[in-house]
Amino acid sequence: MKMAASSERSPPPFPELEDQELEPELEDEDSDEGADIFTGSTLSSMDPPLPVSTSEPDKDIFSGPRAEPLNNPLSETAAEQLKAVSGASSKAKGDVPVEEAGSEEPDDLFSDPLGESGAELETHTSNAPLLDFSEEPPKSDPIKKAASADDYIKKPQKDIFEESTEDGVKAAAAHVGSVAAEKKVLHTDLFGDGVDDDEDKDDLFKTPPGAMMKKPQASLFRAEPDDIFPEAKTEAKPATKASAKQPNNAPTDLFTEEPFTVMPAARAAVKPAAIPSANTSSKTNGLHSDEEDLFAEATVELSLDSPRNDRRKRDAMKPSEPVPCPSTSTSSSKPQPKKLEELEEEEKEDKFDLNISVTNPEKVGDGMNAYMAYRVSTQTTLSMFRSKQLTVRRRFSDFLGLYEKLSEKHSPNGYIVPPAPEKSILGMTKVKVGKEDLSSDEFVERRRAALERYLQRVVSHPSLLQDPDVREFLEKEELPRAVSTQALSGAGFLKMINKATDAVSKMTIKMNESDVWFEEKLQEVESEDQQLRKLHGMVESLVNHRKELSVNTAVFAKSVAMLGSSEDNTALSRALSQLAEVEDRIEQLHQDQAANDFFIFAELLADYIRLLGAVRACFDQRMKAWQRWQDGQNMLQKKREAEAKLLWANKPEKLQQAKDEIGEWEGRVSQYERDFDRVSATVRKEVMRFEKEKTRDFKKQIIKYLQSLLHSEQQLIKYWEAFLPEAKAIA
């Protein structure tokens, strides 16, 4: 109800503002403009009472959303960051900057971050800038603070700072820096624990540049709003607390009515709420989920809509976002590509640093217990390996085992885990039986190449490379025997993929509202799958024809040879015999080319068809995460309804238990939500990486193929040039 109200109300004014006023200004924005905004925002606080009047809406919005994120991050980042830096003293320090900031201003409002953010949220959603001026002055302080906060928040903020200052947008840079920092910190506090934080931050950094190329704005919006939104929710929480005491309508009021009226309530609630929130992040989480309360009531009935609301909210928030966005995207257009190149270089280096080859397939044992062992040689300069040259022997099931381990660990997080080659009972049986025929040689070579490509794909993935199991696989002399790889054999694997596809398609129906990007991507992936399958069929027929040609050429060569030997005319006979030899060589060329067609294209396409299966599986994982989140929300709502009933029935003895349960579920739901966000981010990143990798892979293969074609033609030229004098010599 509230959500609906807010989302319906807020968007209309914003898009216009965003498009007509904010955007252009921001794009033109230079360093001095940025400065203007600074003063502007402080000024606007001086001529306060009319912000609602349309005469100066831009200013309001500027001062509102833009300044807010600024001060918000300050207090929050400072608080969070300090927390991270100096664990126990966090609370005190967290309070300090904020209080300094707010010292000249209404203390109660700014005494703690939550209060601020609560107010801020309301300004966002209700589009009532009135609140701002009260907040603004402190804001300018906090901005300065931001600079000082930099010292604490060294890493993340500095990065952004450097990036943006490079662009010469100095003053604006401060905005951007702090806003982005806020995002990052929010991110951090979303994801909680230390190590993850670093990674996630990195992720944030990496994703935008990639997306930036094509849809700079959209991607920024998406990457960031995700983070902001939860924050916004956090902020809403105090209000919820208040609402817990007050009638249910209160929250609605919060968002629809002028914030002023709400403020007291919020303030009242904020004070107690703020302190615990500063204490520990886990507690904050609890509070986070408290907010869910608000949303849950509004959205659980329209649980499908909630993602959409998210989006709307994001849209609604856009006005505040353009501030960082255009400045980073337009002004940083130079550094961004640079970054991208760096990234690519990095990846290339990776490949250069790590060379894996699978060689020497060898049959071990006899009869049906026989298996193929391969030599896995690693050449690397990466310090994570214990030496520069590693050689181990692995059997096929070890490769499958590696895949299973990786897939178990990484695919629930949304990573695209390259699939290992399939088991082939038929092919292996032939090898086992020991038939030394062509087809079993072909099979072994094909598998060897597939295993090599598999390992190369695994290690070229930055996250998988870090996995201890990968290192162990490459380094350790003896591996424990992989078990239960049976499930992955050929048909089983396919079945698994098909199952995943079914599940995905089922879920897409339910989820099609959530995010256009994912929906479109999934469709793309599916149509690409079809196309690749078709191409694969064509390459296969090409390979078959080529083989046929090679066979026919051989037959023709033989028949020419017979002609030559029966021919009376010596010169003609000689020429025919020569021709037979030429045709024999050409036959070899065709055979080689058939192998090239196969290994360069057919196998590449087959690999990618399987990889697309893995891509779909990672979309599936995202769906699952979403489903879990939705289920959690439903459960939470049920718990709340139960609580409401208990309240109604006035049974205080059971109330505590109900509250505990709600608390527990709130925690879970927010955990699920963060999981979902994280998986989504990973999936997006992974898909981008996959596509880049795919393009590079295809390019590499095409070059290889061209080289083989060129070589064939050059050989042909040689053959014909040698034969021409023979033909001319026929008298």
Partner 1 sequence: MDASNKESALNVNASSIKISDVSQDGDMLTFAITSQNLSGSGGVCVFRTYEDFIWLQQSLFSQEDVPELQGVIFPPLPDKPLPSHSHTQAKVLKQLGFLSLGDKWQIYCKALELYLQQVAAHTLLSKNKELYNFLSSSESPGKQRSKKGIFNRLSQVMEEMRKEGHKDVDEFFQSERDKTTNLSVLFKVATEKFLEVVLTKQKLALACGHFSTSLHLCVNQENADAVAFSKICLKLSDIIETMKRNFEKVSDNDMSTLGLGLELESRYQEAKREMLFRRTCRLVELDNANKNVDRAKPNKKAHMEEVQKATQKEFNLISSVAKQEIVHYHRTRVQVLRDFLIDWCEKQLSTAQESSTLFSQYLEACKGLAV
Query: Could you give the strand order of the β-sheet that contains 354-364, starting from the edge strand earlier in sequence?
Result: 354-364, 371-380, 389-395
CB closer to partner 1, 475 vs 691: 691
User: Do residues 319 and 15 lie in contact, with contact meaning Cβ atoms separated by under 8 Å?
Assistant: no
For residue 85, give every residue at least 6 positions away whose Cβ sits within 8 Å of its Cβ, in sequence order, or none.
Answer: 152
Q: From the list 32, 104, 342, 548, which residue makes contact with partner 1 (rule: CB under 8 A)?
A: 548
The answer to the question of residue 553 lying near partner 1 (CB under 8 A) is: yes
| DSSP run (H or E) holding 373 | strand 371-380
Q: How far is the CB of 586 from partner 1 (least distance, A)?
A: 9
Q: From the list 85, 524, 649, 654, which residue makes contact with partner 1 (rule: CB under 8 A)?
A: 524
Q: Give the interface segment with partner 1, choosing from 160-168, 248-256, 430-438, 697-705 (CB under 8 A).
A: 697-705
Rounded to the nearest 10°, the torsion over CA 216, 71, 231, 121 is: -100
Q: How far is the CB of 382 from partner 1 (least distance, A)?
A: 24
Helices 113-126 and 90-102: angle between axes, nearest 10 degrees: 60
The answer to the question of residue 425 lying near partner 1 (CB under 8 A) is: no
Q: Give the interface segment with partner 1, choosing from 66-74, 220-228, 542-550, 630-638 (CB under 8 A).
A: 542-550
CB closer to partner 1, 86 vs 552: 552
What character string, x for contact with partner 1 (CB under 8 A) and - otherwise, covers 661-690? Answer: ---------------------------x--
Q: How far is the CB of 600 from partner 1 (least distance, A)?
A: 11
The answer to the question of residue 699 lying near partner 1 (CB under 8 A) is: yes
Cα separation of the two ends of the chain: 100
Distances (CA, A) of 411 to 486, 614, 620: 20, 9, 10
The answer to the question of residue 714 lying near partner 1 (CB under 8 A) is: yes
User: Do residues 276 and 226 lie in contact, with contact meaning Cβ atoms separated by under 8 Å?
Assistant: no
Rounded CA-CA distance 180/70 in Å is 9
* Phi, psi angles (nearest 5°) of residue 380: -155, 155
User: Do residues 354 and 452 lie in contact, with contact meaning Cβ atoms separated by under 8 Å?
Assistant: no
The answer to the question of residue 556 lying near partner 1 (CB under 8 A) is: yes
CB closer to partner 1, 158 vs 692: 692
The answer to the question of residue 525 lying near partner 1 (CB under 8 A) is: no
The answer to the question of residue 86 lying near partner 1 (CB under 8 A) is: no
The answer to the question of residue 694 lying near partner 1 (CB under 8 A) is: yes
Q: Give the interface segment with partner 1, choosing from 102-110, 192-200, 437-445, 540-548 (CB under 8 A).
A: 540-548
Q: Is 563 helix (H, G, I), strand (E, B) or coil?
A: helix
The answer to the question of residue 707 lying near partner 1 (CB under 8 A) is: yes
The answer to the question of residue 713 lying near partner 1 (CB under 8 A) is: yes
The answer to the question of residue 348 lying near partner 1 (CB under 8 A) is: no
CB closer to partner 1, 144 vs 699: 699
For residue 728, give every residue at least 6 positions away whose Cβ sits within 8 Å of its Cβ, in sequence order, or none.
Answer: none
* Phi, psi angles (nearest 5°) of residue 378: -120, 130
Q: From the list 351, 534, 638, 654, which residue makes contact with partner 1 (rule: CB under 8 A)?
A: 534
Q: What six digits make up the tokens of 451?
A: 């295993």
Q: How far is the CB of 699 from partner 1 (least distance, A)?
A: 5
Q: By C-alpha distance, which of 190, 202, 204 is closest to 281?
A: 190
The answer to the question of residue 333 lying near partner 1 (CB under 8 A) is: no
The answer to the question of residue 555 lying near partner 1 (CB under 8 A) is: yes
Task: Outline where DSSP puts E strands in 418-526.
Answer: none
Rounded to the nearest 10°, the torsion over CA 538, 544, 550, 554 is: -150
Which DSSP symbol is given to 366? Answer: S
Q: From the list 39, 261, 381, 531, which residue makes contact with partner 1 (rule: CB under 8 A)?
A: 531
Q: How far is the CB of 685 from partner 1 (least distance, A)?
A: 13
CB closer to partner 1, 147 vs 563: 563
Q: How far is the CB of 344 from partner 1 (least distance, A)?
A: 9
For residue 428, give every residue at least 6 positions away whose Cβ sits within 8 Å of its Cβ, in sequence order, or none.
Answer: 372, 396, 443
CB closer to partner 1, 200 vs 587: 587
The answer to the question of residue 520 lying near partner 1 (CB under 8 A) is: yes
Q: From the list 477, 566, 648, 650, which residue makes contact with partner 1 (rule: CB under 8 A)?
A: 566
The answer to the question of residue 340 lying near partner 1 (CB under 8 A) is: no
What character string, x for contact with partner 1 (CB under 8 A) and - otherwise, covers 177-216? Answer: ------------------------------------xxx-
Q: Give the interface segment with partner 1, choosing from 83-91, 551-559, 609-617, 640-648 (CB under 8 A).
A: 551-559
Interface residues for partner 1 in 579-598 (CB under 8 A)? 579
Rounded CA-CA distance 202/154 in Å is 14
Rounded CA-CA distance 342/466 in Å is 20
CB closer to partner 1, 333 vs 707: 707
CB closer to partner 1, 39 vs 333: 333
Interface residues for partner 1 in 13-72 (CB under 8 A)? none
The answer to the question of residue 218 lying near partner 1 (CB under 8 A) is: no
Q: How far is the CB of 227 from partner 1 (least distance, A)?
A: 23
Which ranges of 567-602 would DSSP assign to H, the alpha helix?
570-596
CB closer to partner 1, 409 vs 696: 696
The Cβ-side half-sphere exposure at 336, using a 13 Å CA radius, reads 19
User: Do residues 376 and 393 lie in contact, with contact meaning Cβ atoms separated by under 8 Å?
Assistant: yes
The answer to the question of residue 346 lying near partner 1 (CB under 8 A) is: no
Q: Which long-range contacts does 510-513 make (Cβ < 8 Å, 24+ apart)?
A: 510/304, 511/307, 511/623, 511/626, 513/304, 513/305, 513/307, 513/308
The answer to the question of residue 728 lying near partner 1 (CB under 8 A) is: yes
User: Do residues 628 and 412 lie in contact, with contact meaning Cβ atoms separated by under 8 Å?
Assistant: no
Q: How far is the CB of 693 from partner 1 (least distance, A)?
A: 10
The residue count for binding partner 1 (CB under 8 A) is 60
For residue 409, give every residue at least 6 positions away whose Cβ sits within 8 Å of its Cβ, in sequence order, or none.
Answer: 467, 469
The answer to the question of residue 723 lying near partner 1 (CB under 8 A) is: yes
The answer to the question of residue 507 lying near partner 1 (CB under 8 A) is: no
CB closer to partner 1, 294 vs 543: 543
Q: From the list 563, 635, 642, 655, which residue makes contact with partner 1 (rule: CB under 8 A)?
A: 563
Q: Output the DSSP codes for 79-120.
A: HHHHHHHSTTTHHHHHHHHHHHHHTTS-HHHHSSHHHHHHHH
Q: What six digits make up the tokens of 2?
A: 């509230």
| DSSP run (H or E) holding 356 | strand 354-364
Q: How far is the CB of 352 from partner 1 (least distance, A)?
A: 17
Rounded CA-CA distance 518/619 in Å is 8
Q: How far is the CB of 580 from partner 1 (least distance, A)?
A: 10
Q: How far is the CB of 331 from partner 1 (least distance, A)?
A: 21
CB closer to partner 1, 281 vs 593: 593
Distances (CA, A) of 103 to 76, 137, 432, 539: 17, 10, 82, 73
Within 10 Å of residue 151's Cβ, how many Cβ atoms?
A: 10
Q: How far is the CB of 715 from partner 1 (least distance, A)?
A: 9
User: Do residues 538 and 550 lie in contact, with contact meaning Cβ atoms separated by under 8 Å?
Assistant: no
The answer to the question of residue 366 lying near partner 1 (CB under 8 A) is: no
The answer to the question of residue 516 lying near partner 1 (CB under 8 A) is: no
The Cβ-side half-sphere exposure at 116, using a 13 Å CA radius, reads 32
Give residues in contact with partner 1 (CB under 8 A).
Answer: 213-215, 520, 524, 528, 531, 534-535, 538-539, 541-542, 545-546, 548-549, 552-553, 555-556, 559-560, 562-563, 566-569, 571-572, 575, 579, 688, 691-692, 694-696, 698-699, 702-703, 705-707, 709-710, 713-714, 716-717, 720-721, 723-724, 727-728, 730-731
